Amino acid sequence: MPDNRDIVIIGGGHNGLVTAFYLARAGFKPLVLERNSQVGGAAVTDEFHPGFRCSTLAHTAGPIRPDVVADMQLEKHGLKMITPDVCVTALSPDGRALSLYQDVGKSAQEISAFSQKDAAKYPEFAQSLGKIAKVIADALATTPPDIDDPSRSDLWSMLKTGRAIRKLGKKDMFRLLRWGPMAVADLAAEYFETELLRAVIAARGVFGTFLGPWSAGSTLVLLIRAAGDPHPAGSASFAAGGMGAVTQAMASAAKAAGVEIRTGVEVIEIHVKNGAATGVLLSTGEEILARAVVSNADPKRTLLKLTDPLHLSPDFVQKLQHYRGNGTVAKVNLALSGLPKFTALPNGESAALRGRIHIGNEIDYLERAFDESKYGNFSRQPYLEATIPSLTDPTLAPEGKHVMSVYMQYAPYKLKGDWESQRKALGQTVVQTLAQYTPNLPELILTHQIITPQDLEDKYGLTGGQIFHGELALDQFFTMRPLLDWARYRTPIENLYLCGSGTHPGAGLTGGSGANAAREILRALKS
């Protein structure tokens, strides 16, 4: 006899756990089904070599939205965040390093060694970005309006956003309107003359996307990310125990609120009857009936794979098939026998390595890396973002040893040939690129963990290997995420909802999509 539940949530990633928590707090009894042996989705910590643990995929937080942290009382459930003084250290092949700090003044002092003009402009840029980011953050916390028939709450939200934009003042209001469609390379060049500084800021506008710094709309990505973290180049926010500690704390909070979580169970079908979702079917053959089904999987996986497309209109199916979501990111985790020595840090200033490490010294370097991916090749001189989390959290590696977590871009999901045959070459490329800045790295490596875009799809359920569940772009943002008319967490199938990063705002590990979705699902269930 089928099990019967209030609400079934497919996927125990961070947004699924956030949604489950809010639904449970409102009196429902959600059941979270996770196909892997642990919850977390892309925010997990694994031991990839004896004694070496690392954030397998995401290695920094979004950061998590403050209201989500407070509501879930994540610190009470064991979460301890680590925010080093240095945000990012950008390295140049000429042996120079630029460190940007949480403190704007300290960052400006570092920049002055490269350019007095840039040092003077940096606080101005940081101030404008912070003001604009605050307005965007408020908009990201709202539900996109119904374009055809806006409700009173939609109109009120739009009015509040409009007032907030006007309060920016004429100069920053025009900047907001102008910046969004811009190429992030142009934005960086307007303020700064130092190529290394331009590149580290521009990189934030292309991370995880199929965009280069000269792509129109790449500044929008920077603004979306700045909404959660207004630091110009992005902060470094780690979790003690790796990013899996974030989702473990979320799972603990959800369970305390009344959520049931089952791991190692895979949903293979969403059942639909008379245009409404009625439950799910597991790979074991077990059927679970539910009043509502909420999917933390990406929109394509949910509606074109787990659901029979016959239940959707041909027009909707066609539009969703063209929803862009091919990833460009690979991940390489390294177990090291010691701390790498960087040429740009001859005195072993490990404090500069406690944040993120940026490899991509100029705008043209980033653009050339992107160029290769357009034609089905992974970049042989890639843009890298690395961290050495064992510097701030020694529990991740044996004493005196370290782990290094490296995001590699660009590695296109649609590769010429197959990814399995290119796995070793990918790892070698990452190590060779790093070795240009830290020559002793290769001799320290005990083992590699190489995760390709194909692995992201096959093991972690990210269709197309896209870490954001869909491209972050002007035409897939706000009222158009994932599709125009379907940006309010509902789907064309009654009682089937979306809560993952393929919905608004969809920008990394913030919990925003999950919290927004829970609010709309509760309105629907209580109406």
Q: Say if strands 356-359 and 267-273 run parallel, antiparallel, or are unpaired.
A: unpaired
In angstroms, the Cα distances linking 61 to 32, 202, 508 are 22, 19, 8
- Tokens 């003359």 belong to residue: 193
CB 282 within 8 A of CB 33: yes
Count of other CB atoms within 10 angstroms of residue 250: 32
| HSE-CB for 66 with a 13 A CA cutoff | 5
3-state DSSP assignment of residue 415: coil
> Which of the residue ranges 2-11, 25-34, 168-177 would you say has the lowest mean pLDDT?
168-177
* Close Cβ partners of 458 (under 8 Å, ≥ 6 residues apart): none
Residue 160 has pLDDT above 90, yes or no: no
Which band of pLDDT confidence, cut at 50, 70 and 90, is reported for residue 508?
confident
- In the chain, the percentage of residues whose pLDDT exceeds 90 is 88
State pLDDT tens for residues 410-441: 999 999 989 999 999 999 999 999 999 999 99
- Tokens 């919290």 belong to residue: 515
The sign of the torsion formed by the CA atoms of 157, 162, 163, 168 equals positive
* Averaged pLDDT score across all residues of the chain: 94
Cβ-count burial 439-466 (b if 16+ within 10 Å, e if not): eebeebbeebbbbbbbbbbeebbbbbbb
| HSE-CB for 208 with a 13 A CA cutoff | 22
Residue 108 CA, distance from chain mean position: 28
- Token readout for 473 is 């772009």
Which band of pLDDT confidence, cut at 50, 70 and 90, is reported for residue 168?
confident
In angstroms, the Cα distances linking 334 to 45, 168, 320, 428 are 14, 45, 37, 12
CB 321 within 8 A of CB 420: no
Query: Before 181, cis peptide (omega within 30)?
Result: no
Query: What was the pLDDT predicted at 147?
Result: 76
In angstroms, the Cα distances linking 346 to 136, 350, 379, 439 are 41, 10, 28, 12
- The rounded distance, in Å, linking the Cα atoms of 253 and 71 is 9
CB 41 within 8 A of CB 296: yes
CB 465 within 8 A of CB 413: yes
> Which of the residue ranges 134-138, 344-348, 486-490 would you say has the lowest mean pLDDT?
344-348
- Tokens 């701390």 belong to residue: 339
- The rounded distance, in Å, linking the Cα atoms of 154 and 523 is 14
State pLDDT tens for residues 58-68: 999 878 999 99
If phi > 0 it is left, if psi is from -120 to 50 it is alpha, else beta; for residue 275 that is: left
Domains of the chain: 3-49+62-80+243-324+466-526 (3.50.50.60), 105-228 (no CATH), 329-458 (3.30.519)
Query: What was the pLDDT predicted at 506?
Result: 87
Query: What was the pLDDT predicted at 161?
Result: 75
Residue 376 CA, distance from chain mean position: 23
Residue 403 has pLDDT above 70, yes or no: yes
- The rounded distance, in Å, linking the Cα atoms of 93 and 142 is 44
> Which of the residue ranges 8-12, 176-180, 280-284, 421-425 would you say has the lowest mean pLDDT?
176-180
- The rounded distance, in Å, linking the Cα atoms of 164 and 145 is 17
Which band of pLDDT confidence, cut at 50, 70 and 90, is reported for residue 199?
very high
Closest CA to 122 of 106, 133, 136: 106
Query: What was the pLDDT predicted at 1?
Result: 56
CB 296 within 8 A of CB 15: yes
Closest CA to 499 of 19, 86, 142: 19
Closest CA to 493 of 319, 294, 301, 268: 294
- The rounded distance, in Å, linking the Cα atoms of 333 and 450 is 7
The helix or strand, by DSSP H or E, that contains position 425, with its residue range, turns out to be: helix 419-435
Which band of pLDDT confidence, cut at 50, 70 and 90, is reported for residue 146?
confident
- Tokens 């790449």 belong to residue: 218
Query: What was the pLDDT predicted at 177?
Result: 86
Q: Say if strands 287-295 and 402-409 run parallel, antiparallel, or are unpaired.
A: unpaired
Mean per-residue pLDDT, 285-307: 97
Residue 492 has pLDDT above 70, yes or no: yes
- Tokens 């949903």 belong to residue: 267
Residue 358 has pLDDT above 60, yes or no: yes
- Tokens 């399995």 belong to residue: 420
- The rounded distance, in Å, linking the Cα atoms of 331 and 27 is 40
| HSE-CB for 288 with a 13 A CA cutoff | 24
* Close Cβ partners of 308 (under 8 Å, ≥ 6 residues apart): 269, 272
- The rounded distance, in Å, linking the Cα atoms of 269 and 493 is 14
Residue 526 has pLDDT above 90, yes or no: no
Mean per-residue pLDDT, 482-509: 95
Q: Would you say the pTM of this structure is higher than 0.75?
A: yes
DSSP letter string, 109-122: HHHTTT-HHHHHHH
Q: How many residues does the chain have?
A: 527
- The rounded distance, in Å, linking the Cα atoms of 506 and 469 is 8
In angstroms, the Cα distances linking 250 to 29, 291, 399, 503 are 16, 24, 29, 20
Closest CA to 308 of 356, 342, 272, 340: 272
- Tokens 């035409």 belong to residue: 475
State pLDDT tens for residues 110-132: 999 999 999 999 999 999 999 99
Query: What are 5's strand-pairing partners?
Result: 290
